[in-house]
Amino acid sequence: MKRLISALNVIVILSLTGCGWLGLRDRSDDYLLAEETAVTVVPKGMDKTVLGQIYPIPKIPMTSVELVEFDVPRPQPASVNNFEQSVKIQSLEGRRWVLINVPPSEIWPRVRNVLNRSGVPAALADGSEGIIETVWVKFNSDEENSHRFRFQISPGVQLDSAEISALHNQAVRSAEDQAQWPEASDDDQREKDMLSLLASELASSADYASVSLLAQDIGGEAKVEVVTPEVSDPFILAKLSFDRTWASTLYSAGRGGFVIVDQNRSEGLIYVNYTPETNEEPGFFARLFGGSDEILNVNYRILVQTVGANVEIRIVGAEGQSLNKAETLRLLKVLRSNLS
């Protein structure tokens, strides 16, 4: 028994001392000793476009607040970064689209795969524009006309998301060559049915491993971005209509620590109370005496204003005063994370 206990003690000591006791050097901190290597020089006359930085360091804008002051931010709660649903159909202002929380570069090959499996292969696929046009197909319910669809895949308002819209076109059989794409779908119900089929197929599969390198910048620039001017206050620039921006801002203002106290759509004003979310459980006395009748005070205002063809979203103090740049950026990033 004593020998067994001694053997166990030796094993425990070896496991605690690590490989160094056996003469093997611990290399876990070797990355701290790494040195910068010289840039590879390509001889003149040879193509050097394939060479580049393995881990490029992005440039910090001169207007970035991190150049003046920087505090390590608290991690955002999981609710800020996740959808309630992976795939859903949204509609606004006469438009209808499928919203999915994966980037366009990942959803592009999935859409093409769904169409091929459904017997509606693509006649045109333009990855740079995010456009897929199907061949003419015939439905058993319509013996007179042929039908085709045009899908537009673009970056979504939510971070790392994609929007898929569809346009339906029909033409008399044998006269397909004279058909032109309409401004709106020829048959709204067929457009709806096609989007429902697409959403159902995408939701049934969680495998988004494949990525289209040709569609890295599909659909153009992002619809929403945080802008940091050099002289004025930071703001969110939304390349959307006012109605959609307002609806998206209201949705975001009810999440991530924001609570809507009041709103005035005609003035583009949302009065909110912001308290950073925490995972701490309330104490005994807080649960005993706390209640849901607490009156929240307005500590920030969200301004939604149309400027030219775009919409700007700004955050100011309770009395309309400007905030310091660091605080403004922190709040804008929380608001931006939940825009949908």
Q: Rounded mean pLDDT of the chain?
A: 79
Angle at 40 between CA 39 and CA 46, to 5 degrees: 135
- Is the predicted pLDDT of residue 79 greater than 50, yes or no? no
Angle at 133 between CA 194 and CA 191, to 5 degrees: 25
* DSSP code string of 217-261: TTTSS-SEEEE--SSS--EEEE-S-HHHHHHHHHHHHTSTTEEEE
Of the CA atoms within 13 Å of residue 12, those in its CB half-sphere come to 6
Sign, CA torsion 325/326/327/329: positive
What average pLDDT does the segment 161-176 reach? Answer: 92
pLDDT at 15: 56
Using 50, 70 and 90 to split pLDDT, how confident is the model at 29? Answer: confident
Of the CA atoms within 13 Å of residue 111, those in its CB half-sphere come to 37
**Any idea which of 42-46, 72-76, 254-258, 298-302 has the lowest mean pLDDT?**
72-76
**Any idea which of 22-31, 34-43, 92-101, 305-314 has the lowest mean pLDDT?**
22-31
What average pLDDT does the segment 219-235 reach? Answer: 83
d(CA 234, CA 323): 10
Nearest to 77 by CA among 294, 338, 326: 338
- Is the predicted pLDDT of residue 239 greater than 70, yes or no? yes
pLDDT at 40: 78
For the chain, strand residue ranges (E) read 87-92, 95-100, 122-126, 131-134, 137-139, 142-155, 162-172, 224-227, 235-238, 258-264, 269-274, 300-307, 310-317
Q: Residue 90 in contact with residue 97, Cβ under 8 Å? A: yes
What average pLDDT does the segment 128-149 reach? Answer: 90
What average pLDDT does the segment 179-192 reach? Answer: 93
pLDDT at 8: 58
The percent of residues in the chain predicted with pLDDT above 90, rounded, is 29
Which two tokens mark 140? Answer: 């058993």
Quick one: 17 exposed, middle or buried, by C-beta within 10 A (0-12, 13-18, 19+)? exposed
Residue with tokens 């592009």: 108
Query: Does residue 3 sit in helix, strand or coil?
Result: helix
Nearest to 339 by CA among 257, 216, 227, 246: 246
Q: Which residue(s) pair with 168 in the sheet?
A: 149
- Per-residue pLDDT tens for 141-154? 888 999 999 999 98
What average pLDDT does the segment 213-226 reach? Answer: 68
Neighbour count for residue 109 (Cβ, 10 Å): 17
Neighbour count for residue 54 (Cβ, 10 Å): 4
Which two tokens mark 107? Answer: 């959803």
**For the chain, which residues make up each domain, given as ranges?**
93-215, 224-338
* CATH T-level fold of 224-338: TATA-Binding Protein (3.30.310)
d(CA 220, CA 206): 25
Nearest to 151 by CA among 201, 178, 103, 185: 185
pLDDT at 164: 93
Considering the domain 93-215, what is its CATH architecture? 2-Layer Sandwich (3.30)
Say whether pTM exceeds 0.85.
Answer: no
